[in-house]
Structure 1
Amino acid sequence: KNWWRNLLFIHNYFGFSEMCLTHTHHLGIDTELFAVAPILILGLWRWPRRGLFTLLLLCTVGTAARYYTTIVNQLSNYIYFGTNIQRLFRTADYMYSFPPHRSTVYIMGILLGYVLRKYQSAKLSSLQLRLGWTAATVCVLASVLGPAPMGDINYVYNSTHAAIYAAFAPIAWCLFFSWIVFVSHNGYTNKLTKLFAWRGFQVSTKLSYAIYLTQFPVFFYNVGRRRHIHHYYNFVSIILDTNEFISIFLASVALTVLFDAPFQNLKKLLIKRPFSSSANGTAKDKALPTKAVAEGETATAVTPESGTGIATTNTTTAKPPSSALHPHQHSE
């Protein structure tokens, strides 16, 4: 009955219990943040210092808000042994589907784009690279191993631990990948950056969102049709469910081929890039010196051999005799 909220991309504001297709809350969050992003980018472009200060302030406020909300509402972004359903729903409503709490890493992406634009072809020393990779490694380990104690079967909920994880784990994770993008963009590659640059990821990237949209209906269907207790005897049997994987993969391919890819092509047809007039411009540039010489003006042209040198010629046409200018002045 609440499908119209999904159509308007505002369904993430009404709570998971009243949400149609709960896993699509990301669509609402992404759409809302995408709508605000041009304003943030414009401010950063027009007023760099004020814009940068504003974005950093928003990141700080968002981080503090995640910490405070987790403490006050006893939230948990990690599912541990004995987690109750009420806590999970509170976490989903107050933290997971609320755009301001998810905006920090989104703003970090905008800041990364600004850094890549401002510091093109940055030169890094070997010491700077080592320090950067060390910091990035610490960040990814902190974000991955930070919640490790929550996986203990005897873990007792600790709001401070949960708040630290909710506030800082997204930042640490984002910093790790931001560093990889930054060094790769400036040509500092290694085995890890080459791994992430593997062309096969282009296929998985195109399917990733379709996989996200289709996996939960498949999960819900399999859970709903099960009428008996199912025992998992080892870790492999939990992770590798072949039938489920195949179903999700085929559904995501169908969704991408039938809907996503055609709409992407439609966008390209409707929003065409302006035609490049470089060829016409080159022809005009070649004609300019001739015209300038004919009119006795200074001709300036870029020499194609060097690409940077400027050849300047100050050529004045010989003036014809006065008799040629006034053929009848001697007739008398």
Structure 2
Amino acid sequence: MFWIIHGHEITILLKSTIFNSNDAADWLTRWWALFTFSSSVSVDTFFFLGGILLMYGFLNAKAKKIPFDITVFYIHRYLRLTPAYAAVIILYMTFFIKLGTGPNWKTANQGFQNECKEYWWSSLLYIQNFVNPENRCISQTWYLSVDMQLYILSPLILIPIGKWPKITPYFFVVLVVLFTVIPTWVAWHFEIPALAMMADIPNWHFIYYAQVHTRAGPWIIGLVMGYILFQTKHKKCRMNKIIVSLLWFLTAVVMLYIIFGNYPALDDNFHYSKLYNSLFIGLHRNLWALGLSWIVFACIHGYGGPVNWILSLSVFQFLAKITYCLYLIHKAIQYYNRGIVRVPIIFSNYTILKSFFSTTCLSILIAIIWVLCFEAPFVVIDGVITKAVLSLWKKATPKKELKQET
């Protein structure tokens, strides 16, 4: 989440009025700029984690003989995501535009208000990646649309796996291959470069970035990992130390290459290869998810070492509870900061650092308020609804069994 904030922070800084624009242009050719513009794979981390939790939760419920009620399944997801999201939309539609002033204020923020007034309904229906992909209300929430659409489609995967477990390996292989080939073909057809985040591509979100068929790969791999974790949860997985070391080495190399490997493409004289760029676009998100798969598997089964120690720190429990609201609210603060500026910005690494930390700290404070006001109460309501449905099912089950016996 911090990586996403960092990426958005620099993107917004670059859209501001910059005093030393030549220095900013030079910064974009440095290798460390790739850390920023490769931050989109952090979104694939969320898709991956979503897939793990969905599959693991489904199999766990099935093992406990809890029925799969598709209505409750969808209501639970909608109540989980929408209240805090709707609160931000209402903020944008109403008095956010009145919170600041400055020569850049309307230029920076009027678009948010206009787009939310016109397309609030497509946001709350989670279809804005199809209806208004380039004019989104709360621009970063394209992810919510894709995530919700994957969730809606997930019973097409979960139910067959639940009924016919023997087909699971073949089913997963077909899905992983399919959602590797599709983004590769899209990249080939539209000639999307590997550093697409730095390129100006028309209809970028509609063509590739915010579509289910091009972003489903890491989510599918997350489903696979959730299945593996459930099947191995009571088993001790013994692995050779050499193999463990090799897997950690390969994971580090592949993930670092995904972030920094396209450094030569920053050179103006770099020769574009359609084949390489298409393969990179098609493969890199799935390879990122495979790297994450090893990290998760290794940490759970005792091969994580210091990585497991870091990821198990209790501070992440607190941060995990506010991550969703942090994701929703941080860009409002970034655009507020951009709008109230009255003098050109001096672009430097120190400016980036200062801006990032100030945004992050303030976003965390507001996210805590947002959780307490708009997220936590509806989590309780969702829990009450789920328990009520389960209790009704338990009461109905003995009656059905009695009828069958008679």
The TM-score with structure 2 as length reference comes to 0.60
| Cα pair distance change 1:243/1:193, threshold 3 Å | closer
Which residue in 1 is equivalent to 2:216?
103
Runs of 5+ unmatched residues, structure 2: 1-117, 392-406
1:91 aligns with 2:204: yes
Which residue in 1 is equivalent to 2:138?
21
Give the alignment partner of residue 363 of structure 2, picking from 248, 271, 279.
248
Which protein has the larger Cα radius of gyration, Structure 1 or Structure 2?
1
Give the alignment partner of residue 290 of structure 2, picking from 175, 181, 184.
175
Give the alignment partner of residue 308 of structure 2, picking from 189, 193, 204.
193
| Cα pair distance change 1:114/1:142, threshold 3 Å | same
Which residue in 2 is equivalent to 1:134?
249
Which residue in 1 is equivalent to 2:60?
none
Which residue in 2 is equivalent to 1:78?
195
Q: Distance in 2 between matches of 1:165 and 1:15?
A: 27
Runs of 5+ unmatched residues, structure 1: 276-332
| Cα pair distance change 1:245/1:152, threshold 3 Å | farther
Residue 174 of structure 1 and its aligned partner are, at CA, apart by: 1.1
1:59 aligns with 2:176: yes
Q: Which digits, 9 at most, give the CA deviation of each residue in 1:210-263, with x for residues without a partner? A: 12111222222333344543121x312213215433332222222122112222
**Secondary structure in structure 2 of the residue aligned to 1:240:** helix
The residue correspondences of 1:131-280 to structure 2 (distance < 5 A) are: 131-152=246-267, 158-226=273-341, 228-232=343-347, 234-241=348-355, 242-272=357-387
Residue 98 of structure 1 and its aligned partner are, at CA, apart by: 0.5
Which residue in 2 is equivalent to 1:307?
none
**Contact 1:139 1:176 (8 Å CA) reproduced:** yes
The residue correspondences of 1:31-42 to structure 2 (distance < 5 A) are: 31-42=148-159
Structure 1 range deviating more: 60-69 or 44-53: 44-53
In structure 1, what residue type is equivalent to 2:313?
W
Which residue in 2 is equivalent to 1:302?
none
In structure 2, what residue type is equivalent to 1:145?
F
**Contact 1:40 1:51 (8 Å CA) reproduced:** no
Of all paired residues, the percent bearing the same amino acid is: 21
Residue 95 of structure 1 and its aligned partner are, at CA, apart by: 1.1
**Contact 1:41 1:110 (8 Å CA) reproduced:** no
Structure with the larger helix share: 2
Q: Distance in 2 between matches of 1:158 and 1:21?
A: 35
In structure 1, what residue type is equivalent to 2:329?
T
**Secondary structure in structure 1 of the residue aligned to 2:152:** helix
**Contact 1:66 1:166 (8 Å CA) reproduced:** yes
Larger RCO: 1 or 2 (CA < 8 Å, sep 6+)? 2
1:47 aligns with 2:190: no
**Contact 2:119 2:132 (8 Å CA) reproduced:** no
| Cα pair distance change 1:18/1:79, threshold 3 Å | same
May I ask how many residue pairs the two structures share in their alignment?
270
Q: Distance in 1 between matches of 2:280 and 2:207?
A: 16
Which residue in 2 is equivalent to 1:117?
230
**Secondary structure in structure 1 of the residue aligned to 2:258:** helix
Q: Distance in 1 between matches of 2:277 and 2:264?
A: 11
Residue 189 of structure 1 and its aligned partner are, at CA, apart by: 3.4
| Cα pair distance change 1:201/1:151, threshold 3 Å | farther
In structure 2, what residue type is equivalent to 1:212?
Y
